[in-house]
Amino acid sequence: MRLAALSLLAILLAACAAEEPAALDPPVADDLMAEAPADEEAGANDEAESIPIPEQCDAEDYRPLIGTPAATFPQNEFFRAYGETDIITQEYLPRRTNVVYGSDGIIKDVFCG
């Protein structure tokens, strides 16, 4: 009786060891794991970078002033002029024009935000 029970147990263990559970190893297609060729990725990035984003502020109108002495500018929610060492808030307002001047009073940069 013991021999029969041990034989049955051995057969059951052998059958379980030979089977691999399908739930643990889901099928994965090799083509889904493959990466796109480097030239295609570069082309997609170059194309995205070449599309100009239209500005939402008046910075384009003030850019010709870069390199000239700072003048009196309107100070409101859509325009801000400040020195490059001044402490300013860091919020981004796409419709606001920022004019930055140096310690010498010369306009260094004009941008939206």
Give the strand pairing for 79-83 and 107-112. Answer: unpaired
Instruction: Give the architecture-level CATH label for domain 59-112.
Output: 2-Layer Sandwich (3.30)
Instruction: Give the HSE-up count for residue 38: Cα atoms under 13 Å, Cβ half-sphere.
Output: 0
Q: Which pTM does this prediction carry?
A: 0.53
Q: Specify the range with the lowest mean pLDDT, choosing from 29-38, 47-56, 62-71.
A: 29-38
45, 51, 55, 60: CA torsion to nearest 10:
110
Per-residue pLDDT reduced to its tens digit, 81-94: 999 999 999 999 99
In the chain, what are the domain boundaries? 59-112
Q: Which residues pair with 79 in a beta bridge?
A: 76, 97
